[in-house]
Amino acid sequence: DADVTQTPRNRITKTGKRIMLECSQTKGHDRMYWYRQDPGLGLRLIYYSFDVKDINKGEISDGYSVSRQAQAKFSLSLESAIPNQTALYFCATSEGGGAGPQHFGDGTRLSIL
Amino acid sequence: GQNIDQPTEMTATEGAIVQINCTYQTSGFNGLFWYQQHAGEAPTFLSYNVLDGLEEKGRFSSFLSRSKGYSYLLLKELQMKDSASYLCAVRDSSGYALNFGKGTSLLVTP
């Protein structure tokens, strides 16, 4: 089983819909992150969380919100999806203290029509 | 802020050696990471440098010069399965997240 699990793996939806992407981990890591990846732009940080009570905005947080329901769960929401949010979304985790690498989930491919 | 540059594409021959360069300009530095990403898949961790010098791990090595803002990833004895995108990422002095370059797409040919 994957250590970092993202659901759904693929989603097609319409403009204006509310969407939630979920991430769960069995690595016991304190830190969790959400990135989006677009062709030619690389990975960009949306939100990150150091523990259940800590939520921080990343480089491109506008239009997104997150919830850290438990140490193992970190969800990303698009309240009213728009076409330029079409992208590949990755969740990642790392140990507390941040010294080690980040470990990525398999990604969610989101298409907004 | 961070500015991380790496070549967009490279091509190399099976069995050969290839070097992928990464230059960075950062507000503080707290480590440099290399990731491999096959198309449509998750990035997977390859190497980490925080001090100057060479880190070797099997066929893969990574070098860092902090004074020059420069790193490279060296892949030896190339195999077809090494065709992938290679991502350079820098962690700044805040220590909380990685800033990624746009990636280098490597094609290994027979």
- pLDDT band at residue A95, thresholds of 50, 70 and 90? confident
**What is residue B97's predicted lDDT score, i.e. its pLDDT?**
75
Q: What is the mean pLDDT of chain A?
A: 93
The reply to whether residue A104 touches residue B95, judged by beta carbons under 8 angstroms, is no
CA distance B70 to chain A (A): 19
Provide φ and ψ at B80, rounded to 5°.
-55, -35
**What is residue A1's predicted lDDT score, i.e. its pLDDT?**
56
The reply to whether residue A104 touches residue B102, judged by beta carbons under 8 angstroms, is no
**What is residue B54's predicted lDDT score, i.e. its pLDDT?**
96
Please tell me if residue A11 touches chain B, with a CB cutoff of 8 Å.
Answer: no
Higher pLDDT, A112 or B98: A112
Render pLDDT for B40-87 as a digit per residue (tens, 0 to 9): 899 999 999 999 999 999 999 999 999 999 999 999 999 999 999 999
Please tell me if residue A47 touches chain B, with a CB cutoff of 8 Å.
Answer: no
The reply to whether residue B41 touches residue A107, judged by beta carbons under 8 angstroms, is yes
CB–CB contacts below 8 A, A to B: 48
**What is residue B84's predicted lDDT score, i.e. its pLDDT?**
97
**What is residue A21's predicted lDDT score, i.e. its pLDDT?**
98
DSSP letter string over A19-47?
Answer: EEEEEEESS--SEEEEEEEETTTEEEEEE
Q: What is the mean pLDDT of chain B?
A: 93
Could you give the C-alpha distances from A64 to A57, B18, B48, in angstroms and in order? 10, 39, 30
- Residues facing B58 on adjacent strands: none
Joined together, the tokens standing for residue A70 give: 């438990």
